[in-house]
Structure 1
Amino acid sequence: MTTAAPRVFVTGLGIISPAGADRHAYWDGLCSTAPLFGDLPPLYEGMKPGAIGAWVPESARKAALAASRISAGTTRPRMAEVYAAYAATEAIADAGLCAADTSLSRAVVCVGTSDGQADVLEAVCAGVDDGSGRFSSAGIGSSVARVVGSAGPAFVVQATCASTNAALSCARDALRSGLAETAVVVGCDAYSQKNIIGFSSLQAIGPAACRPFSRSRRFVTPAEGAGALVLQTERALRPDQVPYAELVAASISNDASHPTAPDPAGVRACHRRALEEAGLEASAIDVIYAHGTGSRINDAIEGSIFVEDFPHAAVTAVKGTIGHMMGAAGAAGAVAACLTLRHRLVPPTAIDASEIELGMDLVTGAARPVPDVRYVQNNAFGFGGNNAISIFRRTS
């Protein structure tokens, strides 16, 4: 007889973002759509001034540095690690756990990041840091494991902007295979000059903020931060724990069609794979957190899939509020998806209803109550044909 794979639940959330440090500030920021953007200073001669980006506020940054416990004695803190550690610490506390808890001693730690420790490499190139023993994205996983008290497997997934959903897929597989009963999944990326210069060379950043699915959309708004989720099997749940959601799918693919442009067939195939993994029809999805970068082609491809295959789903895109957190973008969507299931509310996309280009049900203006919500989907796509989609189910 084949034993059914255990169900996997989300029991804790943590996040640090341009909206501030913790899940409450994040949710309030999403629901208010208050502007969180500022100017990006030119980084090289010839870079156009006036481009817009988003940063973790200084107060939140200081809180993360104080709480992370991984930057003591360093002259240049590794901010991706600091953000990751902060989000993970909040998530395990939210789950009712602590670093001394036996359920975390063999937990799987899986970190998704796009740029990793790019800030260290940039400092080395600038001649202000020798980077001795410190330039390793794998070190982020080790640092998070130390902070949460795990001596179990710890690893890092780098799949561009799909990294966190890819990390969720790896962690879910680990729990369902019996490798562990608890996992801590983190998505993180800090401000990176390399990243900004790359987007500038592609003419993807500029003086207008990200406006997902708007007729007037033009630019991406780079951002930074980290989000974390504690995953536990049904066997690991304590009587007093109330899960945010069940993780029913975390599907990944790579169509390798183009270095930067998404492939419509590849993106659509990932949608199909996620639904098959969850055992659902598209009509079952109530809410979708779109990747929604605000670029012309990305939104056109993703939006056409919503119109054709998910016409009854309420769609929202948080990058219009907090910017694009790169490898942590999927974490921002996953945390928000779980909060939607808890609060039964969908935050609005930061554009006017009159701007919507395609005939999707895009939530705008104010947060929308969804009292009967059951399934929430979280999309994340990246350069190089990386596609990843997670789906969460309400548990109560």
Structure 2
Amino acid sequence: MQPLAVSAYTATSALGHGLESHVAALSATRGGLRPNDFSSAPLACWIGRVEGVEDAALPAAHAVWECRNNRLAWLGLRQDGFLERALDIRQRYGAARVALVLGTSTASIGATEEAYRRLDDDGHMPPDLRRPLIHAPHSLAGFVAEALGLEGPCLTVSTACSSSAKVFASAERLIRLGLVDAAVVGGVDTLCDSVLFGFNALELVSPDPCRPFDQARRGISIGEAAGFALLERTGMAPHAPRLLGYGESSDAHHMSTPHPEGLGAELALRDALARANLHADQVDYINLHGTASLKNDEVEAALVTRSFPTTTRASSTKGFTGHTLGAAGILEAAFALQAIEHGLVPANLGCTTPDAACGPQFAWEVEQRSVDVAVSNSFGFGGNNACLVFGRAPA
């Protein structure tokens, strides 16, 4: 494919607001997980909670969209000058020529949970939550489109943990086909009872901070995050990092367990490298999906070990942020882009005794080294897989 420029990007997570706080935390190997203080009933686990979401009120003009997920989206949009850059893009191309493609797995379901907890004697939602717009999967994209004043194609991608990785693929197709000139992509997911207790019911939540790729790992830690990026043709941002390729697959092996040989993940990886016209030995860093669940880590470790040379570095950053679900793709794309920008290979936080499937590619400690090409893996439930390839702009 023809590369696209990532002309701006931002991330907000348990590590802080904006890119600077994330670089600082990754450089110092300082995680953001803390004991669960969120759920409506006791649940002994650790979470990656974003500070300040409760105080991030929406502008009065957008009050109809009020909910915790959209507050996090608004908080995220205002980091790193991203809001201003997005408005500049709208001015440059026109509101109808900028696409909006956002990923989320739960959207504003937290507001729906609250509404059901507060049903009146007649079974009606409380008056303050009788707002149909927030009780729908498209709540996030609808709010951001209104906040940015965008009138182009507006898509919600909800493919579990790969949601906000697949947005890059959808945006590239829209630009390549000439339907738009640029795209705002991203994803937002907030903590809510549905994911905390749902994943716990699947026996996938660890009572301790998650330990990706550790022999003694006990499951995931759930986090929340918001992230956004601008994609446009490289001629408009010649010095910006590039989206070089993407790969997608759906193996549909099992509702919540990856294919035992990682076939779907490998198809997505091969597709991404082929689209980028690269070989595996040209990849400097891989941000792994690495959830710390038993099967995911085993399968992904084997895939990396058999597919990449020892010169490639690989690590999971979920020990820093928790698994941010539908926002994981955009958050970890930001980590891949930061690896290129700062020559920073993050540590695989939480692992003390590596799984036997892990090869010499794994970076257990933070490393400073040149990164020209970085891959980000996102493997969702049901075999919804996506791999992204990013690269440094040509000199």
- Confirm or deny a common fold (TM above 0.5): yes
> Which residue of structure 2 lines up, in the alignment, with residue 53 of structure 1?
47
* Deviations 1:318-351, CA, capped at 9 Å, x for gaps: 1011111000001111011111111111121113
1:69 to 52, 59, 73: 59
> Structure 2 CA distance, aligned partners of 1:202 and 1:97?
39
Q: In 2, are the aligned partners of 1:84 and 1:186 still within 8 Å (CA)?
A: no
For 1:331 and 1:168, how far apart are their aligned partners in 2? 9
> C-alpha separation between the residues in 1 aligned to 2:383 and 2:10?
28
Q: 2: CA distance between counterparts of 1:78 and 1:31?
A: 33
Q: Which of 272, 281, 284 is equivalent to 1:283?
A: 281
Q: Which residue pairs with 1:331 in the alignment?
A: 330
- Checking the alignment, whether the CA contact within 8 Å between 2:77 and 2:83 is kept in structure 1 is no
Deviation at 1:304, TM superposition (A): 0.3
How far does the alpha carbon of each residue in 1:44-65 deviate from its partner, in whole angstroms, 9 at most, with x for none?
Answer: 88x7x4211120013x653xx1
Whether contact under 8 Å (2:17, 2:79) holds in the other structure is: no
Q: Find out whether 1:98 has 2:92 as its counterpart.
A: no
Question: What pairs with 1:311-322 in structure 2 (closer than 5 Å)?
Answer: 311-312=309-310, 313-322=312-321
1:109 to 96, 100, 105: 100
* More displaced 10-residue stretch of structure 1: 26-35 or 299-308: 26-35
Contact preservation (8 Å) 1:109, 1:153: yes
Aligned equivalent of 1:32, options 28, 31, 50: 28
Is this contact kept in 2: 1:88–1:186, CA < 8 A? no
Provide closer, same or farther for how the CA distance between residues 103 and 26 of structure 1 changes in structure 2, counting only shifts above 3 A.
farther
Report the Cα offset of residue 108 of structure 1.
0.6
Q: Is the 8 A contact 1:87 1:186 kept in 2?
A: no
* RMSD, matched Cα: 2.4
Among 250, 262, 265, which residue is 2:263 paired with?
A: 265
Instruction: State the shift of 1:360 in Å.
Output: 3.5
Query: What is the aligned length?
Result: 379
1:82: Cα distance to partner? 2.4
- The ranges of structure 1 where at least 4 consecutive aligned residues each deviate by more than 6 angstroms after the TM superposition are none
Tell me how far apart the structure 1 counterparts of residues 3 and 130 of structure 2 sit (CA, whole Å). 42
Question: 1:219: how far off?
Answer: 1.5
Q: Deviations over 1:252-306 (max 9, x none)?
A: 2111110000112112221111111111221111100000001111000000011
Matching residue's letter, 1:101: Q
* TM-aligned CA deviation for residue 42 of structure 1: 9.0
Q: For the structure 1 residues 123 and 94, does the alpha-carbon distance in structure 2 shift closer, same or farther, using more than 3 Å as the test?
A: closer
Q: d(CA) in 1 for partners of 2:190 and 2:47?
A: 12
SS in 2 for 1:98: helix
- Are the aligned partners of 1:54 and 1:222 in contact in 2 as well (CA < 8 Å)? yes
Secondary structure at the aligned position of 2:222 is classed as coil
Offset, 1:77 = 3.5
Separation in 2, partners of 1:96, 1:196: 34
Q: Is the 8 A contact 1:114 1:327 kept in 2?
A: yes
* Contact in 2 for aligned 1:256/1:385 (Cα 8 Å): yes
The aligned amino acid for 1:69 is P
Contact 1:55/1:191, CA 8 A, preserved across alignment: yes
Normalising by the residue count of structure 1, what TM-score does the alignment of the two structures yield?
0.88
The letter for the 1-side match of 2:251 is D
Q: Tell me by how many angstroms 1:72 deviates.
A: 5.8
Using structure 2 for the length normalisation, give the TM-score. 0.89
Asked if the contact 1:13–1:90 (Cα under 8 Å) also holds between the matched residues in 2, the reply is: no
Q: Which amino acid aligns with 1:98?
A: L
2:75 maps to: 86
Query: Is contact 1:291-1:381 (8 Å) kept?
Result: yes
Alignment-derived partner of residue 369 in structure 2: 370
Return the letter of the residue paired with 2:107: G
Give, in angstroms, the shift of residue 206 of structure 1.
2.9
Change (3 A) 1:37 1:353: closer
Q: How has the CA–CA distance of structure 1 residues 89 and 6 changed in structure 2, closer, same or farther, with 3 Å as cutoff?
A: farther
What letter corresponds to residue 278 of structure 2 in structure 1? L
| 8 Å contact from structure 2 (residues 174, 180) kept in 1 | yes
Q: Which residue of 1 aligns with 2:122?
A: none
8 Å CA contact 1:71–1:78 kept in 2: the answer is no
Contact 1:291-1:379 at 8 Å conserved across structures: yes
Question: Which letter does structure 2 place at the counterpart of 1:121?
Answer: T
Q: Give the gaps of 5 or more residues in structure 1.
A: none
Using the alignment, how far apart are the partners of 1:72 and 1:149 within structure 2?
Answer: 12
